[in-house]
């Protein structure tokens, strides 16, 4: 597959990922009414890890000359552990913050990783050897003005789409901002290891470690009732199978072929899809201001994907 076809395929994969995550906000909000954040995260992560076992076995283990023991080498385990740690922290903080803020505001603040990713890229490239021996490994030199315009359009679009009236930050808002920062690091961790680890294997190890961390915190800090678990079961299953197993696996596969900043812009569409699904399913109509926000985010994707600079994924996203 040539670079152009790979970029196109990766773009559609991440758009699908955004749609799944947009629908996932509803399940997370419902689940938060019945179980604690660590319980919800632990169960959804175990479901995701279990769902991926046959996929990993068929697509990775059986086709690898190294065998299962060879695949679980130091680099692969380290990558899965780091990605799982950031995913655990980001997901737990997000689940803690959702009950204390509106869904729309949570969508906007979570999507602030669109701004945070290029900033982290720039800082990481300044600090030699922080993530890679190659100082240009994050591709900020090749981001170009089109990507930065895309970032600005995304922020303005998300503001129009999600922020309504109240502008001060409360407890839930601050937690979601922290969540966005942690998701930015999760994106960068995936970008670091997806070049050397099979994407599906990396996804499985990410879910495994997330489940392990969440289970430990669940057993220490939470005590869920049978009735609560029963009520939350549909939300947990949806989040585990679709948002986690499908969504995060698609993220890893799709992000492999794109610049991380462009990937983060596309994934920010989760807030757009969340608003659209709320309009279609729940009858929550979009105002003219919100429609303008959607249009700006789509424009950001088009701008960031065009031009010579945006075509240069370099070693950040595309294997040569």
CA angle at 151 for the pair 286 and 21, rounded to the nearest 5°: 55
Query: pLDDT value at position 204?
Result: 92
Check residue 45 and give its pLDDT.
95
- Which structural domain range is residue 281 located in? 3-317
Rg (CA), the chain: 19
107-116, 128-137, 244-253: which range is least confident on average? 128-137
Q: What angle do CA 25, 198, 67 make, to 5 degrees?
A: 130
Q: Where is pLDDT greater, at 277 or 137?
A: 277
pLDDT of residue 164: 63
Query: Does 125 have pLDDT greater than 80?
Result: no
If one counts the domains in the chain, the total is 1
Alpha helices in 163-198 (DSSP H): 171-193
Rounded Cα distance, 304 and 302, in Å? 6
Q: What six digits make up the tokens of 293?
A: 């926000």
pLDDT score recorded for residue 126: 67
Q: What is the pLDDT of residue 304?
A: 65
> Using the 8-state DSSP alphabet, how is residue 129 labeled?
T
Find, among 257, 289, 256, 290, the residue nearest to 273 by Cα: 290
Phi and psi at 269, nearest 5°, equal: -60, -10
Q: Which helix (H) or strand (E) holds 102?
A: none
pLDDT per residue over 200-214, tens digit each? 899 899 999 999 999
When pLDDT is averaged across residues 115-139 and rounded to a whole number, the result is: 59
pLDDT confidence tier of residue 132, bands split at 50, 70 and 90? very low
Task: Tell me how far apart the alpha carbons of residues 253 and 23 are, in angstroms, rounded to a whole number.
Answer: 20
Q: Scan for tokens 């794109």, then name that residue.
A: 258
For the segment 93-116, what is each residue's pLDDT rounded down to a tens digit?
999 998 887 776 777 778 777 777
């Amino acid at each position: 597959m040539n670079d152009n076809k790979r970029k196109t395929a990766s773009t559609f994969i991440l758009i699908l990922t955004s749609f799944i995550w947009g629908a996932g906000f509803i399940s997370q909000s419902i689940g938060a009414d019945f179980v604690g954040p660590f319980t919800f995260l632990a169960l959804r992560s175990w479901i995701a890890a279990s769902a991926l076992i046959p996929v990993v076995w068929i697509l990775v283990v059986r086709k690898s000359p190294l065998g299962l023991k060879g695949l679980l080498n130091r680099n692969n385990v380290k990558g899965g552990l780091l990605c799982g740690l950031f995913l655990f922290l980001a997901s737990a903080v997000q689940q803690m913050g959702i009950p204390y803020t509106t869904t729309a505001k949570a969508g906007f603040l979570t999507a602030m990783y669109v701004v945070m990713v290029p900033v982290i890229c720039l800082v990481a490239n300044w600090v030699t050897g922080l993530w890679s021996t190659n100082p240009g490994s994050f591709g900020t030199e090749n981001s170009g003005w089109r990507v930065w315009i895309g970032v600005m359009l995304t922020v303005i679009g998300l503001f129009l789409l999600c922020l309504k009236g109240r502008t001060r930050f409360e407890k839930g808002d601050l937690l979601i901002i922290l969540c966005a920062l942690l998701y930015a690091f999760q994106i960068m961790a995936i970008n670091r290891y997806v070049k050397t680890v099979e994407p599906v294997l990396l996804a499985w190890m990410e879910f495994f470690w997330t489940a392990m961390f969440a289970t430990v915190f669940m057993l220490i800090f939470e005590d869920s009732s049978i009735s609560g678990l029963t009520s939350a079961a549909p939300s947990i299953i949806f989040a585990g199978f679709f948002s986690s197993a499908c969504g995060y696996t698609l993220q890893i596969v799709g992000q492999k072929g794109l610049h991380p900043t462009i990937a983060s812009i596309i994934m920010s569409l989760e807030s757009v899809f969340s608003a659209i699904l709320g309009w279609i399913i729940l009858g929550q109509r979009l105002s003219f201001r919100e429609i303008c926000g959607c249009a700006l985010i789509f424009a950001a994707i088009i701008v960031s994907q065009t031009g010579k600079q945006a075509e240069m994924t370099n070693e950040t996203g595309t294997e040569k």
